[in-house]
Amino acid sequence: MSDEEYMKLLDRAFEGKPALAASTSDFVIPNVDSFVQGNKTIIKNIAAIADKARRKPEEIGRYISKELSVPISIDEQKRLTVNSKFNAPDLDKIIKRYFSTYVICKECSKPDTRLDSSGRGMFTLVCEACGAHYKVKSY
Rg (CA), the chain: 22
Q: Residue 112, SS3?
A: coil
Range of the domain at 70: 27-103
Q: With respect to residue 20, please indicate whether it lies within any of the assigned structural domains.
A: no
Q: With respect to residue 91, please indicate whether it lies within any of the assigned structural domains.
A: yes
**What is the number of structural domains in the chain?**
2
Which tens digit of pLDDT belongs to each residue from 94-105? 999 999 999 999
What is the average pLDDT across 10-31?
74
**CB-CB neighbours of 110 under 10 Å:** 16
Q: Looking at the structure, do residues 81 and 42 belong to the same domain, yes or no?
A: yes
Q: What is the CATH number of the domain that holds 62?
A: 3.30.30.170
Which tens digit of pLDDT belongs to each residue from 104-123? 999 999 999 999 988 788 99
Q: Looking at the structure, do residues 95 and 131 belong to the same domain, yes or no?
A: no
Helical H segments across the chain, by residue range: 3-14, 46-53, 57-68, 88-102
